[in-house]
Each structure stands twice: as structure tokens, then as C-alpha cells.
Amino acid sequence: MSYMEDGEETRGASGTSAGSTAGTSTGPRTRRTADGGPSARTLLLTVLGEYVRWPGHDGVWSPTVVAALDTLGVPEAATRRAITRLSGEGWLLGRSEGRYTRLTLAPSLYRLLTGWTERLARATRETPWSGQWQQLLLRPPAALREARAVVEEQLAFEGFGDLGRGVWIAADPGGVDALRALIAEQGLSAHATWMTSTVCDAARERALVEQAWDLAAVRTILDDFVARFADARADSDEAAFVLRTRMVHAWRRTFERDPRLPAVLLPLDWPGGTANELFITTWRRIHTPAARWWAALDRDPRLP
């Protein structure tokens, strides 16, 4: 099940991913503010993913971004610093158009946001389960530890759990192709072995899940998401934009930690289904007014 409107392509919202065909070594570094809230940079990436990449655009006017983040409570100076830094790192390309700047997504950022889209869409669907685990044995030499760190970050993002000694497992096969591309890009193919495996004993399989993932921590994240957005409402187009952006941002943080295991491998009272349904129904309800507000904001500033 996709969170998109019925019949739409899976183009999605906003993590860190290598994409399905061409990888990117890693995403832009993100951080949180001193009070634990999202930084200007992280919110900017969410906005670019949800309102630029999602509808298939490749760029946006700088004043649009400044105004959008101002609505989200980010001061103009912080937004401009985030734009400057992302541009300096090669993720955004700026082009002067009179007194204004047109920001274009660099190919690397376009691929990154596409990967976010694919991972987010998978996170809204029940993971198919045939009883087979995806398994990766990754043991590069110490000289390649930086490349290994890039891949390990991506493994966690794609729902893989760490069993130690270079062994990673996942129930969801959806991220394997992207990971193969990233491993090749990082020069680690010779040190990576892919396998599938089955566990015949149910008790041992439950123990395997507990070893690979901290399900108690994941439960807390999902419970927090439900508590935050269960009663959220938007009484205007602008409020819908704010709610949709913050909800997508928060949802991405849940699946950065949640491996989206099949229901058969989870406790009966697992909150994942409730959180997932809340995200889908709320996104559909506020999608149109939020898009309408963005469209009004994203006008050519050179026009009267």
C-alpha cells in the first residue's frame, strides 16, 4: 500500500539512500538544533524532497525556500546559510536570474531524494515475507573503514540489522539493489557476500530479531509519532503545508530506525500499523491544500 493517491506513481517524499540505479556515496550531513528540533538544513532537505523532487521538478526559486522555511519557524539567515553550505558541497546549483537565484538540484541530490522516495514508499507497505532473510557478509580491510562506514549507514537506513562481525540481515529485500550499487561504488564488492537464509526454529528467529534490532527503542519512536500527530488538524492551506512538512520529516525519522519487519516477526501489540495508517490518512487529507499553498508560494519572483 502506498501513501500516494490511488493510481499515482511512487515518487514520494523525503533518509539517506543510494537510489535504485546510481548510488551516491553519502547524503548531506544533517544535525539537530540545541533544543532537539530539526535544523534549517534538515528541514530544507525535507522541503526539497516533498515539494520539488516529489512532483518531478528539478529546481526552485531561492525566495520560495526562504519563505517556506520561515513558515516552519526557521529564520531567514539560517535558511540562507543552509542554502550556501549545500551549494558549497555541490548538492545545490545556483543560477542568477536578475536579482534572484534559481536553485537546481544537482544530480547527486536528485538521486538522493529519489532514494528517500523509494524507501519511504516501501515503509508504508507491509513487508512481504517468504521466510527468507537477506544476509550480507561485509568484511573489508581496515584501510577501507571509511567506505565501510558509508555502507553501514545505508544498511541501517534500508532496514538491515547488525548481528556483529560484519553480518547484516533484513526481512525486506527492497533495498538490496541500491546497496549492491553503493557497495560497488565504494569499492567493496570483493569484500561483500550476499546470501539468503532461513531459520527453522521460531524461538531462535525471535531471538535473532532481538539481537539485530532494538525493538524497544523503535516502539518508543513509533509511539511518539502517533502521540504527536493523532489529533493534528490544519484549518488553512498554510497550516496544511506546515503539518505535511513536519509529519513527513518525523515519518522519515521513524523508518530510519524501524526495519519494517513483517507482522509475523513482531509482537501482537506492535504500534507500526497504527503509525502507518495515521501517516497515510493524514498525508492524503492534507496533500492538496499543502500543495496549493506551495504552488502559490513558488511563483516566479521576477513577475509583477
CB 120 within 8 A of CB 252: yes
The pLDDT tens digits along the chain (304 residues) read: 233 333 333 333 333 333 333 334 455 554 444 333 468 999 999 999 999 998 888 899 999 999 999 999 999 999 999 999 999 999 999 998 888 899 999 998 998 888 888 888 888 888 889 899 999 999 999 999 999 999 999 999 899 999 999 999 999 998 999 999 999 999 999 999 999 999 988 899 999 999 999 999 999 999 999 999 999 999 999 999 999 999 999 998 887 889 999 999 999 999 999 999 999 999 999 999 999 999 999 988 778 7
pLDDT at 27: 59
Q: How far apart are CA 237 and CA 184, in angstroms?
A: 44
pLDDT at 10: 32
Report yes or no on whether pTM surpasses 0.85: no
* DSSP per position, 65-102: HHHHHHHTT--HHHHHHHHHHHHHTTSEEEEEETTEEE
pLDDT at 26: 53
